[in-house]
Amino acid sequence: MTTTLDKPTPETGAEEGRSARSLVDAVFRAREIAIGGALALLVLGTWIANPGFLDDQGIKDLLLNSSILVLLAVGQSVVVITRNIDLSVGSVVGLTAFACGHFVSGTDHSAPTVVLLGIALGTVCGLVSGALVSFGRVPALVVTLGMLYIIQGIDHAWAHGEQINAVNVPDGVLALGSGSVLGIPYLPLISAAVLAATGYFLRTYRSGRELYAIGSSPDAARLAGIPVRRRILAAYAFSGAIAGFAGALWLARFGTVVADAANGWELTVVSAVVVGGVAITGGTGSVWGAALGALLLTTIGSALVVLKVDSFWQQAITGVLLLAAITTDRVLQVRTTSALRKRSRR
């Protein structure tokens, strides 16, 4: 075994590998370019139909509306890349938003405290799901579905019809949701920073690449000496932390929080991730794509409003788009595989 690994790769093989890799790279780049193109087309079309769509306020709304979904999509895609899923994110956002609101109501806590509290609470939720999935070795969908119910139940039982009102939330926290630097609101800046950091980590760091390896083939990853369970646990903790962060931001943005805030968001987040080209079967995709997917879903909603299309159409259009995205993904994948096969035969 080891001797074959130590053998130097023949020159030709390395070259072929490189060209194959560049082909794969090109396809994935094409994937993100395609989503970006669709997004650009949508924005352009809407802007032509109604110039008000892209005025200062319009852009600000677009960015604000998408930032929480983008954030959640980044967290979710890290989990999905490892061939798992986290259905509990919506309920974690609801719980942390309420918990943070409850914590700050009538006090003068600062924004960082609230954010840290949200992240801590989210991380705990993520760690529980992650421990059950990685150490219990049970299907992620079942566990996180169970966690969805448990967290939702706790949230509702705790809130019990009570709601957090903006008047009780300290100004420092609300400023996080409404303030801006150089005309750009904080929220999209935060999302962009988290996105960039996560994207860089996944692409550059060894542990980031290992997440892809786990998603491609868990068994092979284990045999290659990757600490699979620990990585999966970390992925869930990260997703939970992001969801907690999003919960704190939710409070900052809306001020008013009811117990079922972000209820049902888990499927929207998964949709965004899937539209963004992260395969639900793990191992492929990038957070950049996922963020674009989230941006696209939000923009469709806003565009339909601006274009005065019946809002009833929004979901149907989103559904068609989702199906189109995963079908395109599949077609591209089949093409790449056959292209690679042809190349290696030559």
Buried b (16+ CB within 10 A) or exposed e, 285-311: bbbbbbbbbbbbbbbbbbbbebeeeee
Residue whose pair of structure tokens reads 């200062």 in the numeric block: 56
Angle 284-295-133 (CA atoms, 0-180°, nearest 5)?
A: 45
DSSP reduced 3-state for 268:
helix
Residue 320 binds to other proteins (criterion: CB under 8 A):
yes
Q: Rounded to the nearest whole angstrom, what is the least distance from the CB of residue 325 to other proteins in the complex?
A: 8
- Chain centroid to Cα 338, Å, comes to 30
Cα 343 to Cα 20, 164, 205, 320, 331: the distances in Å are 8, 61, 30, 34, 18
Contact between 345 and other proteins per CB under 8 A? no
Q: Considering the complex, what minimum distance in angstroms separates the CB of residue 24 from other proteins? A: 19
* DSSP-derived secondary structure for 224-258: TT--HHHHHHHHHHHHHHHHHHHHHHHHHHHS-B-
Alpha carbons 56 and 51: distance in angstroms, whole number: 11
Q: Is 77 an interacting residue with respect to other proteins (CB under 8 A)?
A: no
How many Å apart are CA 69 and CA 252, to the nearest integer?
15
Q: According to the binding rule CB under 8 A, does residue 309 interact with other proteins?
A: no
Span near other proteins by CB under 8 A; candidates 11-19, 37-45, 96-104, 318-326 = 318-326
| 149 binding other proteins? (CB under 8 A) | yes
The nearest distance, CB 281 to other proteins, in angstroms, is 6
Which of 193, 313, 335, 344 touches other proteins by CB under 8 A? 313
- Strands (DSSP E) contained in the chain are 180-181, 184-185
Cα 153 from chain centroid (whole Å): 24
Q: With binding defined as CB under 8 A, does residue 249 bind other proteins?
A: no
Residue 44 sits in the site that holds other proteins (CB under 8 A): no
Judged by CB under 8 A, which of 317, 332, 339, 340 binds other proteins?
A: 317
Asked whether position 154 contacts other proteins by CB under 8 A, the answer is: yes
Q: Say whether residue 274 binds other proteins (CB under 8 A).
A: yes
Using CB under 8 A, pick the residue from 17, 51, 139, 179 that binds other proteins.
Answer: 139
Nearest residue (CB) to other proteins, 129 versus 198: 129
Out of 326, 332, 339, 340, the only residue in the binding site for other proteins (CB under 8 A) is: 326
147 binds other proteins (CB under 8 A): yes
Among 312, 342, 345, 346, binds other proteins (CB under 8 A): 312
Question: CA end-to-end span of the chain, whole Å?
Answer: 28
Q: Which stretch binds other proteins (CB under 8 A): 16-24, 98-106, 138-146, 298-306?
A: 138-146
* β-bridge partners, 184: 181
CB 290 within 8 A of CB 203: no
Residue nearer to other proteins on the CB measure, 141 or 193: 141
Q: Which residues here bind other proteins, judged by CB under 8 A?
A: 85, 87, 132, 136-139, 141-143, 145-154, 156-157, 160, 264, 267, 270-271, 274, 279-281, 310, 312-320, 322-323, 326-327, 330, 334
